[in-house]
C-alpha cells in the first residue's frame, strides 16, 4: 500500500519549524552540509530522504529542509517512509513522518509491507528482509537521476564492522557501511548518534523511539547497547577509531578489487572461459571468482568449493553458486553460467 501527499494540516507528534530553536538547527544543518560536500552531492540534486521517524532520520529531514529554506542548498526534497508492519504502533510512525513532512511543506510517499511474510517467502531473517524491503522501496520511489539519502551514523558504521567481524567476514566486511554506493548517499556517516540527538532535543524537534531497538534478541541491539558502550569506556573515541579503520579497509579493498578485475580480464578468453592453469594466490583468487560470479554474491563456502575444484586434477566438476548459476571446471578452465 502506497500513500502520497503534501501540505496536510499538522497533527500531534511533530513541531513546525517556527517552534524550533534555530541555533542548534543551524548547527545540525551545517553538519549535514559538510557531509554533503564531502560526498559531492550536487547543489540542485533531487534528494529522496529515507525517514523512519527516529532521531537520526529526523535530524536528516530537518537539516536538509533547513538548508533549502535558508537557500544554502537548492535541493528538491521528497520524504519516503516504509512501514514494516512489525509493531502495532508502526502505523503511528508513518503518520508521524507524514505530519512532519507536511509541516516542512515537503512531498512524501509512504508504503506498508509485510516484512514477516517477505522473510518467510525468501528464507531471510526479519532484519535482513526488512533491509531488503527498505532498499527495494527506496529504489522504486526515487526516479532515475535522483539520489537517496539515508541517516546512517558513525555508530551504525561501527556496529556493522563489529557484526561483520563476528560473522568471520574478510576485508570487504571490515569496510562497514559505505558513505556512497550508487545513488545511495549517507551524509551523516561520520557523525555520532548522541550528538544528533542532543541537537534535536536542543532544537525542540520531536522524534519517535522504536522499542524493538532495545530487544536483546537481536545481536545488533546488544552490540549497540552493550558492546559499543563498553568499548567507549575502555577506549574513549572507540567508535570513531572503528570508523577510521573501516575507511582504511575500504581503500585497501577497492585497490584489491581493481587488481582482481584486471587479473580476471587477463585470464578470460573470448569464449568466457577463465584460465586457471597457473592459479593466483588465494586472496586474489577469491576476489577474482567473486567478481566473475557477480551479484548476488555467492557464499564464502561456495567460492571456497570452486577454488578447491579449480585447483584439483579432476575435471568435469560443477559447483552450484546460488541464484540459478553454476560453475564448471574442466582442464583447469572455469566457466560460469
Assess whether 217 and 323 both reside in one domain.
no
Number of folded domains in the chain?
2
Q: What is the CATH number of the domain that holds 71?
A: 3.40.50.620
Region 255-270 average pLDDT: 96
Task: Judge whether 261 lies within some domain.
Answer: no
Cβ count within 10 A of residue 90: 20
Same domain, 63 and 194: yes
pLDDT digits (tens, 9 = 90+) for 146-189: 999 999 999 999 999 999 999 888 898 999 999 999 999 999 99
| pLDDT (0 to 100) of residue 160 | 96
**pLDDT score, position 114:** 84
Instruction: Characterize the bridge pairing of strands 2-5 and 76-83.
Output: unpaired
164 assigned to some structural domain: yes
Residue 5 pLDDT? 55
What's the pLDDT at 17?
A: 40
Residues 303 and 233 in one domain: no
- In this prediction, residue 195 has a pLDDT band, given cuts at 50, 70 and 90, of very high
Model confidence band, residue 198 (pLDDT cutoffs 50, 70, 90): very high
Q: How far apart are CA 199 and CA 23, in angstroms?
A: 9
237 and 282 part of one domain:
no
**Residue showing cell 535541493:** 75
Tell me: do 283 and 225 sit in the same domain. Answer: no
pLDDT above 70: percentage of residues in the chain:
93
Residue 83 pLDDT > 50: yes
Q: Tell me 80's DSSP state.
A: E
User: Which of 181, 208, 242 is at the close of a domain?
Assistant: 242
Say if residue 219 is in the same domain as residue 291.
no
Whether 224 and 307 share a structural domain: no
The continuous run of DSSP H or E covering 78 comes out as strand 76-83
Q: At 88, is the pLDDT very low, low, confident or very high (cuts 50, 70, 90)? A: confident
Do the domain assignments include residue 208?
yes
For the chain, the average pLDDT equals 89
Q: What is the pLDDT of residue 224?
A: 95
CA distances (Å), origin 130, targets 41, 119, 173? 27, 8, 20
Better pLDDT: 310 or 66: 66
Q: What torsion do the CA atoms of 33, 37, 40, 42 make, to the nearest 10 degrees?
A: 50
Alpha carbons 308 and 319: distance in angstroms, whole number: 10
What would the mean pLDDT of 64-79 be, rounded to a whole number?
97
Residue 315, pLDDT > 60, answer yes
Sign for the CA dihedral angle at 116, 125, 290, 270 comes to negative
Taking only the tens place, the pLDDT of each residue in 18-56 is 444 459 999 999 999 999 999 999 999 999 999 999 999
The per-residue pLDDT for range 106-116, each reduced to its tens digit, is: 999 999 988 88
Could you tell me if 95 and 153 lie in one domain? yes
Cα separation of 299 and 278, whole Å? 24
> Distance between CA atoms of 91 and 85, rounded to whole angstroms?
8
Residue 14 pLDDT grade (very low, low, confident, very high; cuts 50, 70, 90): very low
- Do residues 201 and 286 share a domain? no
pLDDT at residue 295, as a whole number: 83
Q: Decide if 159 is inside a domain.
A: yes
- Of 6 and 89, the one with more pLDDT: 89
Are both 221 and 331 inside the same structural domain? no
Widest CA span of the chain, in angstroms? 74
If one compares 291 and 120, the residue with the highest pLDDT of the two is: 291
Does residue 12 have a pLDDT over 80?
no
pLDDT, greater one: 5 or 82: 82
Domain contains 254: no
Q: So what's the pLDDT on residue 9?
A: 29
Between 308 and 315, the higher pLDDT residue: 308
Name the grid cell of 93: 510512525
Which pLDDT belongs to residue 7?
A: 37
283 and 137 part of one domain: no
Percentage of the chain lying above the pLDDT 90 cut: 70
> At CA 7, angle to CA 6 and CA 9, rounded to 5?
125
Q: pLDDT tens across 269-281, in order?
A: 999 999 999 999 9
Same domain, 325 and 190: no
Average pLDDT over residues 189-209: 96
Contacts of 301 by beta carbon, 8 Å cutoff, 6+ apart: none
Contact of 50 with 149, CB cutoff 8 Å: yes
- 286 belongs to a structural domain: yes
* Cβ pair 229, 250 in contact under 8 A: no
Could you give the CA distance from residue 293 to residue 208 in angstroms, rounded to a whole number?
Answer: 42
**What pLDDT shows up at residue 3?**
55
Domain range spanning residue 277?
268-336
What is the pLDDT at residue 299?
Answer: 86
Amino acid at each position: 500500500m502506497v500513500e502520497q501527499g503534501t501540505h496536510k494540516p499538522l497533527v500531534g507528534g511533530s513541531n513546525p519549524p517556527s517552534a524550533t530553536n534555530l541555533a542548534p538547527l543551524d548547527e545540525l544543518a551545517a553538519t549535514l552540509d559538510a557531509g554533503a560536500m564531502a560526498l559531492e552531492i550536487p547543489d540542485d540534486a533531487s534528494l529522496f530522504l529515507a525517514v523512519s521517524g527516529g532521531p537520526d532520520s529526523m535530524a536528516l529531514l530537518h537539516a536538509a529542509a533547513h538548508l533549502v529554506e535558508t537557500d544554502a542548498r537548492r535541493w528538491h526534497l521528497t520524504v519516503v517512509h516504509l512501514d514494516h508492519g512489525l509493531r502495532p504502533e508502526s502505523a503511528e510512525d508513518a503518520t508521524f513522518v507524514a505530519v512532519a513532512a507536511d509541516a516542512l511543506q515537503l512531498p512524501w510517499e509512504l508504503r506498508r509491507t509485510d516484512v514477516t511474510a517477505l522473510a518467510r517467502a525468501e528464507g531471510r531473517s526479519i532484519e535482513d528482509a526488512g533491509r531488503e524491503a527498505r532498499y527495494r522501496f527506496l529504489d522504486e520511489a526515487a526516479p532515475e537521476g535522483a539520489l537517496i539519502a539515508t541517516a546512517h551514523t558513525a555508530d551504525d558504521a561501527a556496529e556493522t564492522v563489529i557484526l561483520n567481524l563476528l560473522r568471520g567476514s574478510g576485508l570487504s566486511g571490515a569496510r562497514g557501511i559505505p558513505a556512497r554506493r550508487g545513488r545511495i548517499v549517507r551524509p551523516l556517516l561520520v557523525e555520532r548518534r548522541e550528538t544528533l540527538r542532543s541537537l534535536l532535543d536542543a532544537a525542540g524537534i520531536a522524534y519517535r523511539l522504536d522499542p524493538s531497538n532495545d530487544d536483546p534478541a537481536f545481536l545488533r541491539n546488544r552490540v549497540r547497547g552493550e558492546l559499543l558502550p563498553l568499548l567507549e569506556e575502555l577506549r574513549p573515541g572507540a567508535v570513531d577509531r572503528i570508523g577510521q579503520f573501516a575507511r582504511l579497509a575500504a581503500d585497501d579493498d577497492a585497490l584489491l578489487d581493481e587488481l582482481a578485475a584486471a587479473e580476471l580480464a587477463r585470464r578470460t578468453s573470448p569464449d568466457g572461459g577463465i584460465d586457471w592453469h597457473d592459479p593466483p594466490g588465494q586472496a586474489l583468487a577469491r576476489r577474482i571468482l567473486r567478481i566473475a560470479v557477480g551479484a548476488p554474491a555467492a557464499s564464502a563456502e561456495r567460492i571456497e568449493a570452486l577454488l578447491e575444484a579449480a585447483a584439483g586434477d579432476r575435471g568435469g566438476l560443477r559447483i552450484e553458486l546460488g541464484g540459478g548459476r553454476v560453475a564448471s571446471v574442466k582442464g583447469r578452465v572455469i566457466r560460469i553460467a
